[in-house]
Amino acid sequence: MILFMLRGSFILLACCISVLYVIQLQQQVRADNAQLQFSTVLIMLGMSLGIAMAVIAIDSYIKKKRLAAISGVFLGLVAGLVVSGALGMFVDLIPRIGPQPKSITMDAYLDLLQGVKVFIGLICCYVCISLVLQTKDDFRFVIPYVEFAKQVRGTKPILLDTSVIIDGRIIDIIETQILQGTLIVPKFVLNELQVIADSADKLKRARGRRGLDILQRLQENSVITVTIDEAEAEGTNVDHKLISLAQHMPARVMTNDYNLNKIATFRGVDVINLNDLAKSLRPVALPGEIMQVKIVKPGEGPTQGVGYLEDGTMVVVENAKNAVNKMIDMTVTSTLQTSAGRMIFGRAD
C-alpha cells in the first residue's frame, strides 16, 4: 500500500513540476510578445508523464533488488563525481595557462572544454561504479553499507548441505524442536540435487530423488522456516560456494560430509555435523563392559568378526571369525569416535 502511494506521489509531483515549468515558460514567451502553442504544452506534459511511468515500470520490473548493488552504485557515483570535479578544475585552468586557439572563437572554445568536462565526468563515474561493484567483497569498513554483508541478529540461519538433505535425519531433528532460526537451501544445492536425481547411475538417481522428497517434506513442516536462497556465491564447486555464502551472510553450515566439515572449520565457519551430533547422543561403551552382538561378516584380521549395533555402530570382535550369523557375548576393549562415525572393539568371551 505504501509503495503504491509512493508511486502515485511520484507521478503527481512529476506532473506538478512540468506544469510549473510550462507556466514559467509561458510567462517568458508572453514577455517576448509570443504565445506558447497548446500542442507544445501537451507534448511537454506527455513527455514528463511518460518518463515518470517508464521509471515506475522499470522499478516494478526489477522486483528483486540488492542493497549491495544499490550501495555500490551510490558509492561509485559519489567517488566518480569527486574525481571528475577535481579533474574539472585542471580543465578550467587550460584557457588561462594555454594559448587561445585561432581557428574558433573563445566562446566556442569554452563550450568545447565544458563538453570535455562532462565526458571526463562520465568516464570517472563509470570507472568508479564498475570498480566498486567488482571489488565490493574486499571492502571491510565500519560503515554498514560499505561492508556489503547482511547483518544477522540473534540466531544465525543454517545452510543445508546436499548430504544432509539426502541423509534425511534432519526431519527427525526438526520435529524435536531443538533447532531455532531459519533453514536455508541455496539454489546451487537444489541444482546439485536435481543433477543427482537425473543421473544415469541407478544408485545416484535414487539418492537424488530421496533428497528432493526430503526437501519437499522440509518445506511442508510447520515447526521451522525453510527457504530457498537464490543468491550465487563464489567457488568452483558446491562445497566452496556453501562456505563462501556462509561467510557472506553469515550463517552456519549443517552437513555430515567429513571433508566439508574440516574445510569449513579452517575457514572459520560454524559447522553442525550430524555425525558428531549422533555420536554425542549414543550411549558410551566402556572397556570391560559385556554386550551382545550378531556377527554378520568376517573382519580384516585373521580372527576378527564384524557386527553392528541397532544404531549402526560397527563392532569389531576378536576370535569371532567362525561365529558369522550368530549372536555372541563380547567384552568391550576400546572405542574409537570420529566425525566420520564410531567403532567399538571387543573380544569374544
pLDDT at 32 over 70: no
pTM score over 0.85: no
pLDDT at 240 over 70: yes
Distance between CA 34 and CA 67 in Å, rounded? 50
Higher pLDDT, 58 or 295: 295
Rounded mean pLDDT, 1-6: 74
Output the 3-class SS for the chain: CHHHHHHHHHHHHHHHHHHHHHHHHHHHHHHCCCCCCHHHHHHHHHHHHHHHHHHHHHHHHCCCCCHHHHHHHHHHHHHHHHHHHHHHHHHHHHHHHCCCCCCCCHHHHHHHHHHHHHHHHHHHHHHHHHHHHHCHHHCCCCCHHHHCCCCCCCCCCEEECHHHHHHCHHHHHHHCCCCCCEEEEEHHHHHHHHHHHCCCCHHHHHHHHHHHHHHHHHHHCCCCEEEEECCCCCCCCHHHHHHHHHHHCCCEEEECCHHHHHHHHHCCCCEEEHHHHHHHHCCCCCCCCEEEEEEEEECCCCCCEEEECCCCCEEEEECCHHHCCEEEEEEEEEEEEECCEEEEEEEEC
pLDDT of 33 reads: 62
Higher pLDDT, 293 or 102: 293
The answer to whether residues 272 and 252 touch, using CB atoms and an 8 Å cutoff, is yes
Going from the C-alpha of 245 to that of each of 3, 56, 83, 294, the distances in angstroms are 31, 32, 34, 45
Lowest mean pLDDT among 70-74, 245-249, 253-257: 70-74
pLDDT at 227 over 50: yes
pLDDT of 140 reads: 44
Average pLDDT, the chain: 80
Looking at the chain, the whole-number percentage of residues with pLDDT higher than 90 is 7
Tell me the per-residue pLDDT of 92-143, one tens digit each, with 9 for 90 and over: 887 777 676 666 677 777 777 787 888 888 888 888 878 877 776 555 443 4
pLDDT at 150 over 60: no
Rounded mean pLDDT, 256-279: 85
pLDDT of 143 reads: 45
Lowest mean pLDDT among 25-39, 57-71, 79-93: 25-39
pLDDT at 43 over 50: yes
pLDDT of 307 reads: 92
Going from the C-alpha of 58 to that of each of 1, 52, 247, 319, the distances in angstroms are 19, 10, 32, 77
pLDDT of 141 reads: 41
Rounded mean pLDDT, 309-334: 88
Higher pLDDT, 37 or 217: 217
pLDDT of 90 reads: 84
State phi, psi for 159 to the nearest 5 degrees.
-90, 130
